[in-house]
Homo-oligomer: A and B are copies of this chain.
Amino acid sequence: MLSERNKILVESIKRLLRRDATTHLRKIVDKTHAADMSVVFRSLSLLNQRKLFDMIKDAQQKGVLFSELDEDIFSNFIEDMDLDEFVEILEQMPTDDVADIIGRLPKEKSDTILEKMKKEGSEEVEDLLRYGDDTAGGIMVPDFIALKEDTTAKEAIESLQKEHLDVEMPFYLYVVDDHGRLVGVSSLRQLVVVHPDTPLKQFMTTDVFSVETEMDQEEVAKIVARYDILAVPVVDDTNKLVGIVTVDDIIDIIRDEATQDILKMAGAGEEFIETQSVFKSTRTRLPWLFASCVGGIIAFFIICHFQDSLSKVAYLAAFIPVIMNMGGNVGTQSSSIVVRGLATGQLNVRDIWSVVFKQLSVGFILGVIYGFLIGMVAQFRYDTVALALSVGFAVICSMSLAALIGSMVPMAFARINIDPAVASSPFVTTSVDIISVFFYFQIATTLLGI
């Protein structure tokens, strides 16, 4: 198991650090993948992080570690790092990661660094910074293999041997015209199976998937996932090839988007906050709870409105939790299904009415079942048919409405291009609560005649 391996690694590194066993440590650092090292860093003090970091021999390894570190660990780590050393490491990193890191730095710092890098000819990074963080342009790498149509397979292989050694993932060879416009694609695989003198244009595929620099990264991820490709070329508005997005970045995007959706649905911000301080974490979660606080206070005023009935029949209050709960949970079920279905493309925003109608049907059936059950409990405890009926009807109402709201709100949000994930749990349960409480008291006071 990955987690057990990490545990052993963390523990042995900590032990060796305590014993100051430099030779031994150097050996381990040498053998450890940067991704694993980033996990080790989570459990170390800044001082020990620094110690370990200095043991990494080549700047390239340091660069990989930089890309892998958690955001807050990274920003702590580089705070008092020497600028020249920092730039030296950045220069060894893939351009998209550098752009990412520089984008996160405070303005003055990033300007100084860009200035330094430009002097040494790294204007590519500045190019990437022009695009939005979450667009194809922002996540692409500008290193790719582009060849002309007349290049033969043999020449293409030769060019791989001489140039393009820094290309991250050389599986696809893109074919461009004289203006750098994308016209086709071939693969390393095809190069070695055709006759060496065959020109690219004879065996390239002209039906290339490509995306524009401005396309949202989530959309890019959907394309790569759907068509099972390893990299997708990015073109500007004149169809000029400017970069590629590789599948390893797509995996990160898919995971991060899922994390964001889960957190948004729970009303816990967008970024993963557990690694942040208690104060930061509180600040992120505070505003999301405000909606449910306001909702609770509205429910409070509704119940106050029925105060006279309540003083006559005090046990009415006892059913509030179960009615709210059943509604809230059906609402969460429906909104989660719809939000996730929209995110994966299994549901389409055009089918709003059929989706909502189906959710409503399911909510109603579930409401009838649980309404009957909970009504029976009421009947058993108080032996008052009107009360049992009130409770039963209230559960049916609450669960049907919850399913309706839980599915309609995210669908409607998606339709007007608001992220449906923000419209879920806290929002849905809060409105369901208010409505449930209101209907319950309205039904009960009518049926019980109080």
Q: Does A328 contact B (CB under 8 A)?
A: yes
Q: Chain A, 301-344, contact with B by CB distance < 8 Å: what is the 0/1 string? A: 10110010011001111111111111011101101111111001
B289 A366 Cβ-Cβ under 8 A: yes
Instruction: Tell me the bound Cα distance from A322 to B289 in angstroms.
Output: 11
B333 A160 Cβ-Cβ under 8 A: no
A333 B288 Cβ-Cβ under 8 A: yes
What are 13 pairs between A and B in contact, CB < 8 Å? A2-B345, A160-B192, A161-B192, A224-B251, A250-B251, A274-B346, A286-B366, A292-B325, A296-B374, A303-B318, A303-B320, A321-B437, A329-B426
Q: A3-B348, A188-B189 are in contact. List 12 more A-B contacts (CB 8 A).
A: A2-B223, A165-B193, A225-B248, A225-B252, A247-B251, A254-B254, A262-B265, A267-B333, A289-B370, A293-B370, A296-B321, A296-B326
Instruction: Tell me the bound Cα distance from A348 to B7 in angstroms.
Output: 9
A7, A157, A171: most-surrounded residue (chain B CB, <10 A): A171
Instruction: Tell me the bound Cα distance from A299 to B445 in angstroms.
Output: 22
What chain B residues lie within 8 Å of A335 (beta carbons)?
266
A382 nearest CB neighbor, chain B only: B304
Instruction: Tell me the bound Cα distance from A275 to B316 in angstroms.
Output: 39
Task: Given A254-B255, A272-B337, A345-B3, verify A321-B293 contact (CB < 8 Å).
Answer: no
A-side interface size class: 35 or more
Q: Does A213 contact B (CB under 8 A)?
A: no
Instruction: Tell me the bound Cα distance from A275 to B345 in angstroms.
Output: 12
B226 A35 Cβ-Cβ under 8 A: yes
Task: Given A278-B362, A329-B292, A362-B282, verify A340-B259 contact (CB < 8 Å).
Answer: yes
A157 B318 Cβ-Cβ under 8 A: no
Q: Chain A, 1-15, contact with B by CB distance < 8 Å: what is the 0/1 string? A: 111001100000000
Q: For A278, give its contact among B170, B266, B282, B361 (CB under 8 Å).
A: B361
Q: For A263, give its contact among B325, B326, B337, B370 (CB under 8 Å).
A: B337
Q: Does A425 contact B (CB under 8 A)?
A: yes
What chain B residues lie within 8 Å of A250 (beta carbons)?
251
Interface residue ranges, A against B (CB under 8 Å)? 1-3, 6-7, 33, 35-36, 39, 70, 157, 160-161, 165, 169-171, 188-189, 191-193, 219, 222-228, 230, 247-248, 250-252, 254-255, 258-259, 261-263, 265-268, 272-275, 278, 281-282, 285-286, 288-289, 292-293, 295-297, 299-301, 303-304, 307, 310-311, 314-326, 328-330, 332-333, 335-341, 344-350, 355, 358, 361-362, 365-366, 369-370, 373-374, 377, 381, 425-426, 429-430, 433, 437
Instruction: Tell me the bound Cα distance from A226 to B64 in angstroms.
Output: 12
What chain B residues lie within 8 Å of A314 (beta carbons)?
307, 310-311, 314, 317
Interface of A is mostly: helix
A322 B296 Cβ-Cβ under 8 A: yes
What chain B residues lie within 8 Å of A336 (beta carbons)?
262-263, 265-266, 268
What chain B residues lie within 8 Å of A320 (beta carbons)?
303, 317, 320-321
A321 B300 Cβ-Cβ under 8 A: yes
Identical copies in the complex: 2
A317 B344 Cβ-Cβ under 8 A: no
- CB A299 to nearest CB in B, in angstroms, measures 4
- CB A405 to nearest CB in B, in angstroms, measures 15
What chain B residues lie within 8 Å of A169 (beta carbons)?
230
Instruction: Tell me the bound Cα distance from A225 to B222 in angstroms.
Output: 17
A373 B268 Cβ-Cβ under 8 A: no
Instruction: Tell me the bound Cα distance from A437 to B262 in angstroms.
Output: 27
What chain B residues lie within 8 Å of A251 (beta carbons)?
224-225, 247, 250-251, 254
- CB A378 to nearest CB in B, in angstroms, measures 8
- CB A61 to nearest CB in B, in angstroms, measures 14
A324 B326 Cβ-Cβ under 8 A: no
B189 A337 Cβ-Cβ under 8 A: no
A34 nearest CB neighbor, chain B only: B227
Instruction: Tell me the bound Cα distance from A70 to B437 in angstroms.
Output: 40
A369 B286 Cβ-Cβ under 8 A: yes
A230 B247 Cβ-Cβ under 8 A: yes
Instruction: Tell me the bound Cα distance from A26 to B396 in angstroms.
Output: 50
A318 B307 Cβ-Cβ under 8 A: yes
